[in-house]
């Protein structure tokens, strides 16, 4: 779930979502990305760093240029998706074991509760 | 009690788009089915990794009934899932469709969940069918574009 958690945080920011939307159209350099947002290059670079850590974008080396492009989306990568799913389901079902045990106890305790209505 | 067998979650794939999950529980099919459809119970366990809660849990277990789960975390942005029930056979089978909003929308996931008595327990099998990789990519891209429109609309309102 770690990468997915990073992805949520990365996508929570409107500028970062807009950067991703721009990269859907094709790769772009920091300078090209900074222009439409009227932001400084360091500010854009900080957003790019967050997106890179989340595994959403990657750098390509082209001479002196370092254009950014969309990484293979986390949800598009079936192996990564399966690992995330397996961990989430394992945590859920371990919790469900306990909930089912509690449900069973609650069902069994109904007559006991009625008994407790009497003198103690 | 066979705890080891219970904890063994089996997850396998069939082709590119089908995921089959199997898990055994020490409870009757009636109880496991109820735990999957009664919102007051779903809210107690369908929480993913530790730290998450489900402040909104809507589940209307009837054909055409709505599903809406909203997850929250003290320090992370929340997300939600919506879905609809397509077929229901009490204590035996659930067919539903769901999609997540992360905030971009993920492709529809079609799920068939069956509950089979196994001694004093239940074997649950969930068969999930995802759209093909190309459809997933297109939907992700269109979700990003929607995100861009929202951001531009917000920017315009701030500049106005």
Residue B152 lies in a domain: no
Residue B47 maps to a domain: yes
Which is more confidently placed, A55 or B158? A55
Pair of tokens at residue B89: 């056979």
Evaluate whether residue B75 is within a structural domain. Answer: yes
Q: Is A35 on the interface with B (CB under 8 A)?
A: no
Q: Which residue has the higher pLDDT, B86 or A118?
A: B86
Using the predicted structure, report yes or no on whether residue A51 has a pLDDT greater than 60. Answer: yes
> Are A86 and B11 within 8 A, CB to CB?
yes
**Residue B123 located in a structural domain:** yes
The boundaries of the domain holding residue B15 are: 3-131
Phi, psi dihedral angles at B53 (to 5 degrees): -130, 170
Residue B139 maps to a domain: no
pLDDT given at position A9: 65
Q: Which of B5, B15, B22, B8 is nearest to B127 (CA)?
A: B22
Contact A69, A58 (CB under 8 A): yes
The rounded distance, in Å, linking the Cα atoms of A15 and A23 is 12
Name which of A9, A11, A25 to mutate to probe chain B: the one with the most chain B Cβ atoms within 10 A of its Cβ: A11
The answer to whether residue B87 scores a pLDDT higher than 90 is yes
Q: Give how far A85 is from chain B: nearest CA, Å.
A: 9
- Partners of B54 on chain A (C-beta within 8 Å) are none
pLDDT value of residue B29: 97
Mean confidence (pLDDT) of chain A:
78
What's the total number of domains in chain B?
1
Contact A18 B49 (CB under 8 A): no
Residue B155 resides in a domain? no
Structure tokens at A58: 């990657």
Residue B147 lies in a domain: no
| Local confidence band at A119 (pLDDT 50, 70, 90 cut-offs) | very low
Q: Give the pLDDT score at A25.
A: 75
- Report residue B145's pLDDT band, with 50, 70 and 90 as the boundaries: low
| pLDDT grade for B100, boundaries at 50, 70 and 90 | confident
Q: Is B156 on the interface with A (CB under 8 A)?
A: no
Contact B52, B71 (CB under 8 A): yes
The helix (run of H) or strand (run of E) holding residue B151 is: helix B133-159
Candidate ranges A75-79, A114-118, B72-76, B146-150; pick with highest mean pLDDT: B72-76
Q: What average pLDDT does range A37-51 have in this prediction?
A: 88
Q: What is the CA radius of gyration of chain B?
A: 18
Q: Is the pLDDT of residue B21 over 80?
A: yes
- Residue B141 is assigned to a structural domain of this protein: no
Name every chain B residue with its beta carbon within 8 A of the beta carbon of A77.
none
- The pLDDT tens digits for B34-69 are 999 999 999 999 998 888 999 999 999 999 999 999
pTM here?
Answer: 0.65
Q: Cα separation of B15 and A43, whole Å?
A: 43
Whether residue B78 is predicted with pLDDT greater than 50 in this model: the reply is yes
* Of the candidate ranges B2-6, B77-81, B136-140, the one whose mean pLDDT is the lowest: B2-6
User: What is the pLDDT at residue A23?
Assistant: 83
pLDDT at residue B95 above 80? yes
Say whether B27 and A100 touch across the interface (CB within 8 A): yes
Residue B135 in this model has a pLDDT that exceeds 80: no
Burial A9-30 (b: 16+ CB within 10 A, else e): ebbbebbbbbbbbbbbeebbeb
In tens, the pLDDT along A69-84 reads 888 654 455 666 677 7
Residue B45 belongs to domain with CATH number: 3.30.530.20
Cβ count near A66 (within 10 Å): 12
CA distance A9 to A32: 24
Whether the pLDDT of residue B77 is over 90: the answer is: no
3-state secondary structure A48-110: HHHHHHCCCEEECCECCECCEEECCCCCCCHHHHHHHHHHHHHHHHHHHHHHHHHHHHHHHHH
- Please indicate if any CB of chain B lies within 8 Å of the CB of A31: no
Closest CA to A21 of B156, B139, B135, B143: B143
For chain B, give the percent of residues with pLDDT over 70: 77
Facing B145 at nearest CB: one of A5, A9, A24: A24
Mean pLDDT of chain B: 83
Query: Per-residue confidence at B19, pLDDT binned at 50, 70, 90?
Result: confident
């Amino acid at each position: 779930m770690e990468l997915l958690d990073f992805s949520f945080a990365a996508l929570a920011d409107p500028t970062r979502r807009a950067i991703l939307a721009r990269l859907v159209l094709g790769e772009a350099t920091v300078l090209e990305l900074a222009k439409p947002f009227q932001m400084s290059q360091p500010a854009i670079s900080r957003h790019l760093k967050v997106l890179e850590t989340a595994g959403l974008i990657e750098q390509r080396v082209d001479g002196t240029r370092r254009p950014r492009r969309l990484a293979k989306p986390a949800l598009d990568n079936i192996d990564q998706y399966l690992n995330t799913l397996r961990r989430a389901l394992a945590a859920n079902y371990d919790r469900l074991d306990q909930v089912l045990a509690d449900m069973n106890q609650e069902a069994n305790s109904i007559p006991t509760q009625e008994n407790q209505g009497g003198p103690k | 009690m066979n705890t080891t067998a219970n904890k063994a979650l089996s997850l396998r794939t069939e082709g590119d788009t089908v995921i089959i999950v199997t898990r055994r529980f020490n409870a009757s099919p009636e109880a496991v089915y109820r735990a999957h459809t009664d919102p007051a119970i779903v809210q107690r366990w369908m929480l993913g990794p530790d730290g998450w809660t489900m402040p909104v849990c809507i589940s209307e277990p009837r054909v055409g009934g709505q599903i809406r789960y909203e997850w929250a975390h003290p320090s992370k942005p929340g997300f939600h899932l919506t879905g609809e029930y397509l077929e229901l056979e009490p204590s035996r089978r659930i067919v539903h469709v769901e999609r997540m909003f992360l905030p971009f929308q993920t492709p529809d996931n079609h799920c068939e969940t069956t509950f089979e008595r196994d001694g004093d327990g239940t074997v649950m099998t969930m068969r999930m069918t995802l759209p093909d990789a190309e459809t997933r990519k297109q939907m992700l891209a269109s979700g990003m574009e929607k995100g861009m429109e929202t951001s531009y609309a917000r920017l315009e309102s701030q500049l106005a």
